[in-house]
Amino acid sequence: MTGNILGVTLHGTGPEPVLVLHDWLGDASTYAPMWPYLDIHRFTYALVDLRGYGRSMHLAGDYTIEEIAADCLAVADRLGWSRFHVVGHSMTGMATQRLAADVPSRIKSAVAVCPLSAAGNPLPDETAAFFASVCEDDDAFRRLIKHVTGLSDQWAEVKLRQNRSRVAPQCRPHYLHMMRTAHFVDEVRGLATPFLVMVGDRDPGLDAAAMERTFLAWHPNATLMVMPNCGHYPMQECPPRFAQMIENFLDSQAG
């Protein structure tokens, strides 16, 4: 897709539409390892690149959670999707909530993967300074990736190359600011949207306890699943099982 609409990679031709959003550090290609394991006859996946990422690197914007939701709805409209499922990872976990609050009648279900929530992430100053350094400092980026996954130096190098080549430098600090300052908890409390909340048991910080305090406390139809032996990137660390768990949930919410 061209113009001022987000770049989208379509995967599958099935009757159940699924909008898929990526994290702060990578674009839609983060999900590529799981593509071979998806049911392309049951689902149609639209993997979106937010402004400044991947196929949308040329698009500038305000870099707010409201803009992300509006851009995603524009994609769904262009695809002719009146109702759809949404998957969000890390930063875009809060986007699943923003969409469910903005257009509850259009969201069939939501999958929030290792997600930040509608409460945002108001980091202490020292921690915020480290995250800000990740935007440009390669060593800081490597340390963060290894911390949230426990994986190897080579893994961190691959993630670094993906980020530096597929994420526009100017958007990185703006999305970080969004994550630190966004707060719309009162708008999501009690939403009936079915949520699957997934975390890895090796992802520090965004663990099961954090989800109990946020997503599960606010959403009456939320279910928590913990993936064993997995960190912050289940779509890359354990793609076949991750694909199966997501599709089992989506299938239960189809129709």
Beta-bridged to residue 89, according to DSSP, are 113
pLDDT for 3 equals 52
> Does pTM surpass 0.85?
yes
Residues in the chain, total:
255
Low-confidence ranges of the chain (pLDDT < 70): 1-3
Q: What is the DSSP letter of 234?
A: H
pLDDT tens-place string over residues 134-179: 999 999 999 999 999 999 999 999 999 999 999 999 999 999 999 9
pLDDT for 255 equals 75
pLDDT for 205 equals 86
Sequence-ordered list of residues with C-beta below 8 angstroms from that of 209, at least 6 positions apart, any chain = none
Report the CATH number of the 8-253 domain.
Answer: 3.40.50.1820
Between CA 136 and CA 140 the distance in angstroms is 8
pLDDT for 4 equals 76
